[in-house]
Structure 1
């Protein structure tokens, strides 16, 4: 009788321990993503993919990434497909990653256009979408918990420093009339709306006198530049993807038209790419976002900028991809995932989402402070406004001009007539 009782207690104890033991660990953590090796978005997609892949290879070289629910390091398998910058192809491949590959984590391709098709698919399948750089404001709603933006500020707040500069410092320098030209997609369309709203809310003398959206596929801006010139603006804000900015800057230089202030996005985000395609002369004295590919934040997690850039360039030596903000963005995404896996109580998608929300505002990487709002939109990592200045060696450098607390110099306004 005593033997049976002892045996019963041991069995109960074993069951109790088993109930609280870590679940059986998988052989790998599958991360699914897309990239565009060709087409309109290759210039932003391939650097992001290279940064994410860098992080995966770094973790695997260390024996894998630590996953709290299994209390051990587990190797990462990166499942990646080429969407060729095509949204229909991307939609098919996102579905494949979820339903056939059954990935543990779903990471969007770069940019708002290729992310836009992933948002409803991820939500339908109750899969958390790790949104790297898709900043369209419409992606983020309080009734959708299945999205987190990791590396870019949401477009509804991103251009705040541009508008603040124009309505404050710019107004003091004589800026009164602003021309707004933008590509009609979630990324730059949202930024255009934000610029309008910020300028209107400022209640200053600055007014928008030209406001025109064009297809993202636009490759010739000559007529548009002449139309803008006819409105006699003091400042021109051009918002587009790399191919838009390249075409605009080339056409502006070729036209001989001179504006006192020109803003574009990708002189700052993908500087090396624009130097190769538009040229230093076309970029000189324009204004742009100064990003974490140039600014040295003090990371508390992950590599610092100089070390990361050196390691990235060594790994990508001889390739066609140039280092810029998007290479930082992909690596930053990896750091967010690393933190989430190390802290989540389970691999449940909403548990992962809650965990990421819990360290919002506390994670400091080479991209600045990671901070999201309740809808998953990135509200940290806002990039200062800078001016592109000749470096005297045939290239360019940046002077941060706004906000004042991080400024490294004064703006040169009006732009010199070259």
Structure 2
């Protein structure tokens, strides 16, 4: 009888302990979730010509938000993304960041996507003394020299030349070596910066520039421009452009049957699945930058993320693969999250100091910062497209069957098909 009583008491005590512990855990989680969220504000291109890239960036960020909150948030508080559509229009950006900081009272800010959207936010961010983590801005801080600016783009310390350096290196390995260059650039912040870098590369490699012209945004007929380039008889044609212009130039090159020895370089847009599907075989032969590819080496730390992204992409109506900006959208806000946890603070000065001294490990790889808030090492690649099929064969883009990494050597997966027409 006494033994049975002891057993009941022990069982009751153990059950009570479990119940108390469970209640404590639930209550603790509830307290964390009931705290005021950490609000992170930004603009994003959800309409307009940059929307295909902006939307996949946002989905990558939302996945970070969801997974972070599922783990209990940051420093005991949930996180909340607060954002507005900048319509791919730089003129909307200053007003958005003013509203985020003065009306929404966000705790921290990050940038929207692209150089053209980052530059107009800088004066507002600087005036407020906020740390600014930016996504795919090309050398934006060269003019501002803001000490709390940190760029997430794998250009490395040679920011402007990095977009086209690999193309020049590949071209000069051919026999006979090319000697002349044509430069075609859209009159926009990113493309002007990339073209400036291409001029530097041409000079450093003793190549003669025989054509150097820009065209206005919104150009739809590229035939006159390409006829002029063709007349220059340049061996290397470097194009620096934003998505709609990149598509227009690829189409015009094919329609004209223009066959330079090598063409591409800094064409934004060709990395997005929507444009790859649209252009299909017309992309064959182009050599262009990529910031990430689904090679075995690069996919290793990112496989779980892309499985989650691709499961959500259909319902969100975004890029079905997310290889260009889905992963980077996740990575750049994750870097900010690492700094918050690392400092146990939302203080912009402390977070900026953490960025200066730390190495960030993300689904897109590792990086650290040098002067000016740029990466200490470049991760830019030049990739050639080949054997691309027309139609809706999405699977051809899941691996490396229709693209070859040419540079840098440590990431290369094959050799260039040269000249360009042999890959057609």
TM-score normalised according to structure 1 size? 0.83
Equivalent residue, structure 2, for 1:294: 294
Tell me whether 1:357 sits opposite 2:356 in the alignment.
yes
Tell me whether 1:315 sits opposite 2:312 in the alignment.
yes
| C-alpha distance in structure 1 between counterparts of 2:296 and 2:147, whole Å | 32
Equivalent residue, structure 2, for 1:92: 95
**Larger deviation, residues 148-157 vs 180-189:** 148-157
Equivalent residue, structure 2, for 1:149: 151
Q: Equivalent residues in 2 for 1:147-296 (5 A)?
A: 147-153=149-155, 155-159=159-163, 161-162=165-166, 164-166=168-170, 168-170=172-174, 172-202=175-205, 204=206, 206-266=207-267, 270-277=271-278, 279-296=279-296
Task: Indicate if the aligned counterparts of 2:211 and 2:232 stay in contact, CA closer than 8 A.
Answer: yes
1:30 CA drift (Å): 0.4
| C-alpha distance in structure 1 between counterparts of 2:338 and 2:406, whole Å | 33
Task: Indicate if the aligned counterparts of 1:290 and 1:398 stay in contact, CA closer than 8 A.
Answer: no
Equivalent residue in structure 2 for 1:43, among 35, 46, 52: 52
| C-alpha distance in structure 1 between counterparts of 2:63 and 2:411, whole Å | 30
Equivalent residue, structure 2, for 1:413: 418
Task: Indicate if the aligned counterparts of 2:161 and 2:200 stay in contact, CA closer than 8 A.
Answer: no
Q: Equivalent residues in 2 for 1:112-131 (5 A)?
A: 112-131=115-134
Report the CA distance shift for 1:31/1:293 in structure 2 as closer, same or farther (over 3 A).
farther
Q: Equivalent residues in 2 for 1:325-364 (5 A)?
A: 325-344=324-343, 346-359=345-358, 362-364=359-361
| C-alpha distance in structure 1 between counterparts of 2:305 and 2:270, whole Å | 17
Corresponding residue SS for 2:95: helix
**CA-to-aligned-CA distance 1:21-40 (integer Å, 9 cap, x gap):** xxxx9521000011222112
| C-alpha distance in structure 1 between counterparts of 2:276 and 2:389, whole Å | 14
Report the CA distance shift for 1:313/1:54 in structure 2 as closer, same or farther (over 3 A).
same
| C-alpha distance in structure 1 between counterparts of 2:52 and 2:41, whole Å | 20
Corresponding residue SS for 2:325: helix
Equivalent residue, structure 2, for 1:390: 387
**CA-to-aligned-CA distance 1:111-168 (integer Å, 9 cap, x gap):** 0111111111100111112211222x24245841131112442642422533541563
Number of residue equivalences: 378
Equivalent residue, structure 2, for 1:10: none
Q: Which runs of 5+ in 2 are unaligned?
A: 1-33
Task: Indicate if the aligned counterparts of 2:57 and 2:327 stay in contact, CA closer than 8 A.
Answer: yes
Alpha-carbon RMSD across the aligned residues, in angstroms, is 2.4
Report the CA distance shift for 1:31/1:267 in structure 2 as closer, same or farther (over 3 A).
closer
| C-alpha distance in structure 1 between counterparts of 2:318 and 2:149, whole Å | 28
Report the CA distance shift for 1:143/1:174 in structure 2 as closer, same or farther (over 3 A).
closer
Corresponding residue SS for 2:43: strand
1:343 CA drift (Å): 0.8
| C-alpha distance in structure 2 between counterparts of 1:198 and 1:248, whole Å | 22
Equivalent residue, structure 1, for 2:24: none
Which has the larger helix fraction?
2
| C-alpha distance in structure 1 between counterparts of 2:160 and 2:411, whole Å | 22
Task: Indicate if the aligned counterparts of 2:171 and 2:262 stay in contact, CA closer than 8 A.
Answer: no
1:45 CA drift (Å): 1.5
| C-alpha distance in structure 2 between counterparts of 1:325 and 1:123, whole Å | 29
Report the CA distance shift for 1:268/1:243 in structure 2 as closer, same or farther (over 3 A).
closer
Report the CA distance shift for 1:296/1:357 in structure 2 as closer, same or farther (over 3 A).
farther
**CA-to-aligned-CA distance 1:193-248 (integer Å, 9 cap, x gap):** 1111122123x3x2221111122322221110100000111121111111111011
| C-alpha distance in structure 2 between counterparts of 1:93 and 1:142, whole Å | 20
1:297 CA drift (Å): 4.8
| C-alpha distance in structure 2 between counterparts of 1:140 and 1:412, whole Å | 36
**Larger deviation, residues 387-396 vs 96-105:** 387-396
Task: Indicate if the aligned counterparts of 1:268 and 1:289 stay in contact, CA closer than 8 A.
Answer: no
**Larger deviation, residues 219-228 vs 344-353:** 344-353
Corresponding residue SS for 1:370: strand
Corresponding residue SS for 2:137: coil
Task: Indicate if the aligned counterparts of 2:185 and 2:241 stay in contact, CA closer than 8 A.
Answer: yes
**CA-to-aligned-CA distance 1:69-123 (integer Å, 9 cap, x gap):** xxxx310111111121222222111110011111111011100111111111100
